[in-house]
Amino acid sequence: MTNNGRIAIIDLGGQYCHLIARRLRDLATDSTIFPPSVRSEVLSHYAGLILSGGPQSVYDPDAVSIDERIPALDMPILGICYGHQLLAKLLGGEVGRRDGEYGLAQLRTSTLNSFLPPHGETSGAGPLFHGTPPAQRVWMSHSDAVCELPRELITLAGTDRCSCAAFAHCSKPLFGLQFHPEVAHTEFGEKILENFVRSICGIGEAEPAAGRVPALCERIRRAAAGKSVFFLVSGGVDSTVAFVLCAIALPKERVLGLYVDTGLMRQGETDELRANLGRLGLTDRVRIWDASEVFLKALETQIDPEDKRRVIGRLFVEIQSQALHQFGIDPDHWLLGQGTIYPDTIESGGDSGRAAVIKTHHNRCDEIRELIRQGKVIEPLTELYKDEVRELGRELGLSAHLTNRWPFPGPGLAIRCLCTLTPGGASAVSPEIAATIAHDGFDGVVLPLRSVGVQGDARTYRRVFALAQKDRELDYQKLGKLSSALCNDNIAVNRVALLIGGNRPLTDARIVPATITPERVELLRQADFIARSEIERANLADTVWQFPVVLAPITFQDGESIVLRPVNSVDGMTASFACLPSDLLLTISNNILALPGVDAVFLDVTNKPPATIEWE
Ligand code: XMP
C-alpha cells in the first residue's frame, strides 16, 4: 500500500510538539498530530512517525505511553526527548534519572557507525545527520536519559552530560534524539528533520503554501458568521495583525477594538498605539479605556506570579463586558477577538491536558477558556508563532517599525515587578562551587528570590544564582558556560544573574518584602525607558529580540535592584541571553543607578531553558 505522504506526530505532552508540525510546514511537509491513545492501524498509512517530547518520566507508573505495536510498524519513526526515551524503552533499553541538561549543549556525532551508509564527508553518523558537522550546537531540556540500549540500537551521538544523545536501529529506520531538532536554537535541527522527512521517509516537497492572508480572512468570515468582533488590542504585533486581518475580512462596522490601559504599560505606549492606529487608518475603530486604577488596586495584594496572571486575565474579560455594556453593544451579537498565538496556548498548558502549565498567559485564564467553550472568542493567529505573525504583518503591508517591535506581554509590568512577603539573606555556595567560579574570576551567592523556568518540559519556580566579577569587560562565552553548568548541576536554581552595577559585595544582598505599588511600577517604567532609549540611541534595538527589564526586591542598602534581560529568539519558545556590548550595558546601568531607589543592576545570563524569558 502506498503511504499518504504525510508525517504523523504523537503528542506526548511536550512544549514543542506543535513546533514539530510547524517545522514540517516550513519544509512543505504535511503532518497530523495524534494523542498517545492512537492505535497503530490508524498510523500505518503514514510515511513516517515522530514521537514528541513530554514532561513525565517514562518509568513513572502512570507515564504516558503509546500502542506497543507501533515500533513494529513498517515505517520510519523518530523519537524526540521523551519520545526518544520511550522508543528506547519499548525496544528494550533502559531510561533513568541522570544529570540535568538544559539549553545549549555541544553534540558530537560518532563516526563508528560503519554499518550505516555514510553520506558525504560530514558527520558520518548515518542518514539522519547527513550534511551536518561532527560537532554541532543543540538545545536540550531533560533530566532523564537513555542509559542502556538493547543490542540492535546504536548510539549515534553524545554530549558531555549525555552519552546517548542520538541512536539508530541497526536494520530498521528507527531513530531517537535526546535533543530538540524542532527548536530554532538547535543549529542543524531543520537539516536533521529534513533528512528524516526526505531521505528516510521518502516524502517529496509539497506545493509551497500560498500567502496566508486570503485563507485567514476566509476563516475569520466563517468563524464570525454574521456576528461582529470586539477586539482586545494592546498595540503589539500580534493583536495589531489579528485586528487588521479582521478589519480586512469583515465590513468595518463589524470590527471594533478596545485598548485597555492597565497602568502597567511601558512609557509612551498609549501614544505609540495612537500613532500606529493613525498610520493604519483605524483610529476611529479603537476605543481607549483607562483601567489603571482597577488593575493596580486588584494587584496590590497579589504576590504569586500565577495569581497575578489570573487576576489580570479576569480583569480584561470584566472590562471587555463593561465596555460592551457602555457602548450599547449586544453581547449576543459580538465575539471577543484576541491576538493569541500558539506559544500562549502551550505555555498555559495547551488544549490536550497533557502539557504542563509553564505560565498562564493572560489570554488563557479560566474566564477566557469558558468563553472559548461557549464559542464566543475569535483568535485568527492561534496556530502561528511570533516570527510567522511578523511575516504576516509584512504581507499585510504593516511598517517594519510595528512588525519588528519587541514583544510585550499582556500582563505588562506586573509580571516584571517581582513581589514577595518573605525576607531573607543571600546563602553562601558550597566550597566546591565557590572554587569553580573563583577559578573563572567570579564570586557568587544564592538569593532566596524565585523565578519561573521551563526544565524538561515542566514548570520550575526556583532561586537565583547571583554572580559578581572583577572585570568590567564581559566574557560572554565564559558566562554562558558557567550559567549552564550552575543550573544543570544545581536543582535549587534555574537562573543566573550577574551584578553589573553598584559595587556591593553580594553577601550583603537581602530580599525584602515587596508588593505591587504605583511607585514601584513607576520606578520600573523609568528603568525600562532608560534601557530602551539607550539601546535605540546605540542603534542596537534590532539586534535583540526582546528586552524585559525587571524590578527585583534585592536590596543592598535601602533600595531595590533592576535586572536587565535582553534575549535573542525566533519564536519565544527557546531563547539565548543576548550579548550586548559591555559599554552599552555600563551606560544603561549607570543611568538606572542614578534613579532614586535603585541599589544595583544585574544582567540575566540564562538561556531558555532553563529559565523562561520573563521572570514570572
Ligand atoms: P516566557 O517568559 O514564557 O515568554 O519565556 C515567552 C514570550 O511570551 C511572552 N509572554 C506573554 N505574552 N501574554 C502575552 O501576550 C502573557 O501572559 C505572556 N507571558 C509571557 C513573553 O514576553 C515572551 O515574549
17 is catalytic: no
- The CA 408 to ligand 1 mean position distance, Å, reads 7
Residue nearest to atom 11 of ligand 1 (CA): 409
Out of 84, 119, 182, 388, which one is annotated catalytic? Answer: 182
H/E element holding 138? strand 135-148
Whole-angstrom Cα distance, residue 187 to residue 248? Answer: 38
Beta-bridge mates of residue 142: 101
pTM, rounded to two decimals: 0.95
Burial track 138-170 (b if 16+ CB lie within 10 A, e otherwise) = bbbbbbbbbbebeeebbbbbbbebbebbbbbbe
410 lines ligand 1 (CB under 6 A): yes
β 48-51/77-80 pair status: parallel
- The CA 615 to ligand 1 mean position distance, Å, reads 10
What local confidence, expressed as pLDDT, does residue 118 receive? 43
What local confidence, expressed as pLDDT, does residue 114 receive? 44
Q: In sequence order, what DSSP letters do the residues of 68-109 get, joined into one string?
A: TTGGGSSS-EEEETHHHHHHHHHTT-EEEEEEEEEEEEEEEE
572 lines ligand 1 (CB under 6 A): yes
347 is catalytic: no
pLDDT in tens, 535-564: 999 999 999 999 999 999 999 999 999 999
- The CA 616 to ligand 1 mean position distance, Å, reads 9
Whole-angstrom Cα distance, residue 69 to residue 90? Answer: 9
- The CA 279 to ligand 1 mean position distance, Å, reads 27
- Ligand 1 atom with the smallest distance to the CA of 309 is 17
Mutate to test the pocket of ligand 1, among 141, 495, 613 (most ligand atoms within 8 A of CB): 613
Q: At what angle do helices 213-224 and 386-395 cross, to 10 degrees?
A: 100
Residue nearest to atom 3 of ligand 1 (CA): 612
Grid coordinates of 148: 542502556
Residue nearest to atom 7 of ligand 1 (CA): 572
495 lines ligand 1 (CB under 6 A): no
Residue nearest to atom 12 of ligand 1 (CA): 409
Whole-angstrom Cα distance, residue 378 to residue 387? Answer: 21
- The CA 496 to ligand 1 mean position distance, Å, reads 19
- The CA 122 to ligand 1 mean position distance, Å, reads 38
- The CA 614 to ligand 1 mean position distance, Å, reads 7
β 153-158/94-109 pair status: antiparallel
Question: Where are the domain boundaries for CATH 3.40.50.880 in the chain?
Answer: 7-200
- The CA 548 to ligand 1 mean position distance, Å, reads 10
612 lines ligand 1 (CB under 6 A): yes
- Please name the residues in contact with 372: beta carbons below 8 A apart, sequence gap of 6 or more: none
Q: Domain spanning 424-604 has what CATH number?
A: 3.30.300.10
Closest CA to 346 of 13, 8, 31: 13
Question: Where are the domain boundaries for CATH 3.40.50.620 in the chain?
Answer: 213-412
- Please name the residues in contact with 68: beta carbons below 8 A apart, sequence gap of 6 or more: 90
- Ligand 1 atom with the smallest distance to the CA of 573 is 6
Q: In sequence order, what DSSP letters do the residues of 518-530 get, joined into one string?
A: HHHHHHHHHHHHH
Grid coordinates of 211: 500567502
- Please name the residues in contact with 378: beta carbons below 8 A apart, sequence gap of 6 or more: 220, 223, 224, 229, 246, 335, 336, 337, 338
Mutate to test the pocket of ligand 1, among 342, 359, 494 (most ligand atoms within 8 A of CB): 359
What local confidence, expressed as pLDDT, does residue 130 receive? 95
Residue nearest to atom 22 of ligand 1 (CA): 409
Question: Where are the domain boundaries for CATH 3.30.300.10 in the chain?
Answer: 424-604
Out of 17, 81, 201, 419, which one is annotated catalytic? Answer: 81
Closest CA to 457 of 100, 34, 106, 5: 100
Whole-angstrom Cα distance, residue 386 to residue 371? Answer: 24
361 lines ligand 1 (CB under 6 A): yes
Residue nearest to atom 10 of ligand 1 (CA): 409
164 is catalytic: no
With respect to CATH, is domain 213-412 assigned 3.40.50.620?
yes
83 lines ligand 1 (CB under 6 A): no
Extract the residue ranges of the chain whose pLDDT is less than 50.
114-115, 117-121
Mutate to test the pocket of ligand 1, among 316, 361, 452 (most ligand atoms within 8 A of CB): 361
Contact, 562 vs 525, CB < 8 A? no
- Ligand 1 atom with the smallest distance to the CA of 236 is 15
616 lines ligand 1 (CB under 6 A): no
Out of 119, 180, 361, 362, which one is annotated catalytic? Answer: 180
With respect to CATH, is domain 7-200 assigned 3.20.20.370?
no
Mutate to test the pocket of ligand 1, among 344, 366, 576, 577 (most ligand atoms within 8 A of CB): 344
Mutate to test the pocket of ligand 1, among 347, 457, 544, 615 (most ligand atoms within 8 A of CB): 347
Residue nearest to atom 4 of ligand 1 (CA): 613
* Helix segments in 187-330, DSSP class H: 189-194, 213-224, 237-249, 269-280, 292-299, 305-326
